[in-house]
Amino acid sequence: MKVLLVDDHTLVRKGVAQVLALTIPGAEITEAADADQAVRELEASPQDVALLDIRMPGRDGLDLLREIRVSHPNMPVIMLTCFDNSEYVKKALAEGAAGYLLKDCSPEDLVQAISVAMSGSGNVLSPRAVRNLFDSAQAADQQAQSHANRGTEAGLTRRENDIIALLAEGYSNREISRTLFLSEKT
């Protein structure tokens, strides 16, 4: 398995690479310190899965995710970051990330996330990221309710909340689209 690991922090990148080398037999780890280097590495050698940090100098991980979705649409991408901000999580999932893990996850959780992403069987989210999504949705719902009498809308739609709830239960994009009668691209 070929893994592209993109993180601007050398110590983190080297540590994650070492964990992957020890826990995934035969894994070939390609490291990149920024989005531009990652693009060059992908052009030189296709990868099976990518792990991207969110905030990096120059182009951030979300920009790189968008580029990878265009140039390598079938390659799963997992965001691996220390930022649990619900806006980052929503943007990453909306852009097609197969997972969103926080850097405090266990090596076993990381390996499992890679396995799930490569199988295409669902999205993997860190529990804290899911909690923040729910908190954000709940706050938006409360705000929408308080504004409802004044005719303003705020926050997530009921359908977006349905999707988040199914994601939290481990549903894949395909299962969500079938359950909610939506296009898988929605």
DSSP-assigned letters across all residues of 65-109: HHHHHHHSTTS-EEEEES---HHHHHHHHHTT-SEEEETTS-HHH
CA nearest to 55, candidates 37, 31, 81: 81
Both tokens of 31, joined, read 């490291």
The type of residue at 44 is A
Is pLDDT at 34 greater than 50 in this prediction?
yes
Given pLDDT bands bounded at 50, 70 and 90, which one contains residue 56? very high
Question: In this predicted model, what pLDDT tens digit does every residue of 90-124 receive, in sequence order?
Answer: 899 999 999 999 999 999 999 999 999 999 888 88
Both tokens of 158, joined, read 């009921």
**Going from the N-terminus, what domains does the chain have, and what CATH number goes with each?**
2-128 (3.40.50.2300)
What is the pTM assigned to this prediction? 0.72
- What angle is formed at CA 136 by the lines to CA 131 and CA 137, rounded to 5 degrees? 100
Element (H, E) at 4: strand 2-6
With left for phi above 0 and alpha for psi between -120 and 50, is residue 58 left, alpha or beta? left
If DSSP codes are grouped into helix, strand and coil, which group holds residue 29? strand
Q: What is the pLDDT, as a whole number, of residue 71?
A: 96
CA nearest to 55, candidates 103, 3, 15: 103
Question: In this predicted model, what pLDDT tens digit does every residue of 69-83 receive, in sequence order?
Answer: 999 999 999 999 998
CA distance 102 to 30: 20
Question: In this predicted model, what pLDDT tens digit does every residue of 116-147 receive, in sequence order?
Answer: 999 988 888 877 777 776 776 666 666 666 65
Beta carbons within 10 angstroms of residue 54's beta carbon: 21
If DSSP codes are grouped into helix, strand and coil, which group holds residue 39? helix
If DSSP codes are grouped into helix, strand and coil, which group holds residue 181? coil
